[in-house]
Structures are given as structure tokens and as C-alpha cells.
Amino acid sequence: MSVWNFKDLTGMTFGRLTVIERAKNANDGHARWLCRCSCGNLCIVLGKHLISGKIQSCGCLGREKSQHKTFNGLYKSLSHLSKADALVL
């Protein structure tokens, strides 16, 4: 019987995700965690992805970034618009 050592991530925050509790291990034995995103969604994430920063939200962060893309693929926030641009919106 092998003993898996893991760090308890309960209560820790990674990006927009706050770890609630340990979830069932992945099929390969890696630790998974139930997290609540700042947008309110629940998701299960591998611990190694939380620690490495690979996963920082339930997916809402990527959706928000894609909404701010301009036609040429550059990110543009509303704070960069002039008053004349804002009137067009």
C-alpha cells in the first residue's frame, strides 16, 4: 500500500479560486480539489494545476479576456478609449 503525501490546500486561494475541500483523486492518483471561483461557480481542479498557476478560475477569466479582444487579436480595456470612442459605444 502506497501512502500519498499531499499538502492540504483547503482555504487557500489561487487566482480567483478558493479551495473548499479535497475531491476524489483523478484516475492517475493525482489530488483533486473542489474550488469556488470568485464568480460563484464550483469546479474541481488538480492540485498541481492550482499550485503551478495553470488554472486560475473556473473558465470565467478566459471568457472575460476573450470579450476584450479587438479584431486584430490585441486586448483592449475600456479605460484606453477616448471620449469620442466612448460615445460610439
How far apart, in Å, are the Cα atoms of 35 and each of 43, 49, 64, 72, 89? 5, 12, 19, 34, 36
Task: Supply 39's cell numbers.
Answer: 464568480
Domain count, the chain: 1
Burial class (CB in 10 A: 0-12, 13-18, 19+), 15: middle
Residue 43 and residue 35 in contact, taking contact as beta carbons nearer than 8 Å: yes
Q: Is residue 2 part of a domain?
A: no
Given this model, what pLDDT does residue 73 score? Answer: 55
Please indicate, yes or no, if residue 1 is contained in any of the structural domains. no
pLDDT (tens digit per residue) in 3-42: 566 689 999 999 999 999 999 999 999 999 999 999 999 9
Could you list the residue range(s) of the whole structural domain that residue 43 is in?
13-88
Backbone angles phi, psi at 64, to 5 degrees: -65, -40
